């Protein structure tokens, strides 16, 4: 049995639409006005598709000392295949934003009653996010093995999203067990495929089902694909959380942007996510359920006289044929009526009725 809980007011369950995390990360490179504009566009997109639940997803990167100086480099790509290398400390420094600026950004979401999900990298960020309206905290994949941080975040009384990244099932088990031991039971395990962007063959989306059956908690996808197909496939595989980066310049060459979607496309994506979830439907069909929309003819056949039938004739392939619409004995009862006797005349081309036949004496 999969544990059920909510992030904000949105339940994580198969009978509810998946919660979509619209991720702005650190795409705005310290430009807080740009970030605020992105958030406002995300909130506007949600209003266009109100039936699809949405959360704002970001991160707190406020202290460059989270990264040691040195010669470590980061390689990233654009959608068109261009690549660039950058000193990792330099990369972090140009993305750092003071906490008071994050407070302004977070308020935009909380004032709109949209859940705020925040990736955290240290204790200060964790405390700040919890104190400024976060509906859930996320342990990024790089921190899956950061046991002290997981314990600290798990003690905040908020749901915890654990991104698995390039981890083993044992490492995921240790992270989940650590969170539970620290008092957090409301956990989402999030799969993020290998690569930035991830090739289709690197997605391994069936691992979502492994996490579901192994841990009994909701699962989700951190989408690293240049396209959108993985989002929709993940819904079919049981994901109740979907995270996708959205950016004003999705073709830009910068860290993580290669697998983001254009902000202009967000309403369409939300609509497709909702309709994909709707398409999953129920595990059994109800033939009597009301169907919306234009319904084409779907008639079943019945038993029809091949030629004029007189009393005493026997129902057989020689005497009857089948046609639709079903205005006589339904064809599904053929094994029952085959061999019965005609008791009253039936004209050629006329459906045979139950009152026209009787069972032959045994």
pLDDT in tens, the chain (362 residues): 899 999 999 999 999 999 999 999 999 999 999 999 999 999 999 999 999 999 999 999 999 999 999 999 999 999 998 999 999 999 999 999 999 999 999 999 999 999 999 999 999 999 999 999 999 999 999 999 999 999 999 999 999 999 998 899 999 999 999 999 999 999 999 999 988 898 999 999 999 999 999 999 999 999 999 999 999 999 999 999 999 999 999 999 888 889 999 999 999 999 999 999 999 988 888 877 777 776 766 789 999 999 999 999 999 999 999 999 999 999 999 999 999 999 999 999 999 999 999 998 76
- pLDDT at position 286 is 82
CA-based nearest residue to 58, from 315, 243, 259, 325: 243
Q: Per the CATH hierarchy, to which homologous superfamily does domain 15-280 belong?
A: Aldolase class I (3.20.20.70)
Q: What fold does the segment set 302-358 form as a domain?
A: Type Iii Antifreeze Protein Isoform Hplc 12 (3.90.1210)
Burial of 75 (0-12, 13-18, 19+ CB in 10 A): exposed
CA angle 138, 19, 47 (to 5 degrees): 120
- pLDDT at position 360 is 81
CA-based nearest residue to 245, from 25, 17, 41: 25
CA-based nearest residue to 260, from 308, 288, 226, 286: 226
- pLDDT at position 290 is 79
3-state secondary structure the chain: CCCCEEECCEEECCCCCCEEEEEEECCCCCCHHHHHHHHHHHHHHHHHCCCCCEEEEEECCCCHHHCCCCCCEEEEECCCCCEEEEEHHHHHHHHCCCHHHHHHHHHHHHHCCCCEEEECCCHHHHHHHHHCCCCEEEECHHHCCCHHHHHHHHCCCCCEEEECCCCCHHHHHHHHHHHHHCCCCCEEEEECCCCCCCCHHHCCCCHHHHHHHHHCCCEEEECCCCCCHHHHHHHHCCEEEEEEEEECCCCCCCCCHHHCEEHHHHHHHHHHHHHHHHHHCCCCCCCCCCCCCCCCCCCCCEEEECCCECCCCECCCCCEEEECCCCCCEHHHHHHHCCCEECCCECCCCECCHHHEECCCC
3-state secondary structure 90-106: HHHHHHCCCHHHHHHHH
CA distances from 297 to 290, 294, 300, 324 (A): 15, 10, 10, 11
- pLDDT at position 289 is 78
Cis peptide, bond prior to residue 197, ω within 30 of zero:
yes
- pLDDT at position 256 is 86
- pLDDT at position 107 is 97
d(CA 181, CA 317): 72
d(CA 114, CA 46): 9
pTM exceeds 0.85, yes or no: yes
Domain boundaries, the chain: 15-280, 302-358
d(CA 280, CA 31): 40
């Amino acid at each position: 049995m999969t544990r059920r809980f909510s992030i904000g007011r949105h339940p994580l369950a198969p009978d509810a639409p998946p919660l979509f995390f619209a991720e702005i990360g650190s795409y705005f490179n310290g430009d807080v006005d740009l970030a605020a504009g992105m958030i406002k566009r995300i909130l506007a997109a949600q209003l266009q598709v109100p039936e699809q639940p949405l959360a704002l997803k970001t991160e707190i990167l406020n202290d460059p000392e989270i990264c040691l100086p040195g010669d470590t480099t980061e390689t990233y790509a654009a959608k068109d295949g261009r690549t660039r290398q950058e000193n990792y400390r330099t990369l972090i420094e140009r993305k750092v934003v003071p906490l008071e600026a994050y407070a302004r950004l977070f308020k935009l979401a909380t004032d709109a009653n949209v859940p705020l999900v925040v990736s955290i990298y240290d204790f200060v960020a964790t405390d700040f996010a919890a104190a400024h309206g976060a509906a859930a905290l996320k342990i990024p994949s790089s921190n899956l093995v950061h046991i002290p941080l997981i314990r600290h975040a798990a003690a905040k009384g908020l749901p915890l999203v654990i991104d698995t990244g390039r981890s083993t099932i044992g490492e995921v088990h240790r992270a989940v067990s650590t969170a539970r031991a620290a008092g957090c039971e409301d956990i989402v395990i999030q799969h993020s495929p290998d690569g930035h962007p991830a090739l289709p063959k690197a997605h391994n989306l069936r691992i979502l089902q492994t996490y579901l059956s192994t841990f009994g908690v909701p699962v989700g996808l951190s989408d690293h694909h240049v396209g959108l197909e993985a989002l929709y496939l993940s819904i079919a595989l049981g994901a109740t959380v979907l995270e996708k980066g959205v950016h004003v310049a999705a073709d830009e060459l910068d860290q993580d942007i290669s697998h983001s979607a254009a902000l202009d496309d967000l309403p369409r994506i939300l609509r497709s996510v909702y309709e994909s979830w709707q398409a999953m439907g129920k595990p059994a069909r109800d033939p009597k359920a009301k169907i919306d929309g234009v319904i084409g003819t779907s008639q079943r056949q019945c038993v029809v006289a091949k030629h004029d039938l007189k009393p005493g004739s026997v129902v057989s392939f020689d005497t009857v044929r089948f046609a639709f619409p079903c205005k006589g004995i339904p064809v599904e009862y053929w094994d029952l009526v085959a061999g019965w006797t005609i008791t009253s005349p039936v004209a050629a081309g006329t459906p045979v009725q139950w009152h026209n036949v009787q069972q032959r004496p045994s």
